[in-house]
Structure 1
């Protein structure tokens, strides 16, 4: 049997009880272009037409409080400009967990939260084995 073809695109859907502030955050603060408004979900492009994030109306409150545990979500956006993003977010009044940190695993990153409380990371790979866009 021949395996199916590889995946062409990826969407991460995030659910918010009040999606309006999240939609503004992803469009205005993170400056992601809206590619489709489905009413209950708005889908934004991340880095072209291969990666997307969807902001959707939640059916109820989130039950997972620590996103790094089973069932949690961390949305990671890859950028060479981690320090510039840190300055931009700070200027927009968005608190980050810490200034940019270079981790032992060969990345530099920051963490912050969106209006619905999702943990986001902006990360730069310092490793030569990471595939470049």
Structure 2
């Protein structure tokens, strides 16, 4: 889990349909949904979008959806919402396993391929929550600041 961020695990009271992905299931589709939500907010508030903040939000979105595909059996639900001064991205998958950061170097001192996604999420997100889903699996919600 993240060392610097508050990450919690709690049971959700209502059932969630798990018959298939709701919304974007691929990282590219999820990034497009986040970009659209953020740019619509910028247009509506007549405030220019911060390209660095948007880039961070897109990177976190890619990492969460990719991790759901690689380690969670696929994306089962996706939601993006611009709330207050940030963008909230929620990705659900079918695994009950919590995300962990692994050392980039193995026991023999060799660099590992992969393993950098969760630390990227932990570094860029302002708030991260992991919620157990009653029908199994989990939802990870990350909030990234939008200046």
| Shared fold per TM-score greater than 0.5 | no
Which has the larger share of helix? 2
Larger RCO: 1 or 2 (CA < 8 Å, sep 6+): 2
TM-score (norm 2): 0.31
Structure with greater strand percent: 1
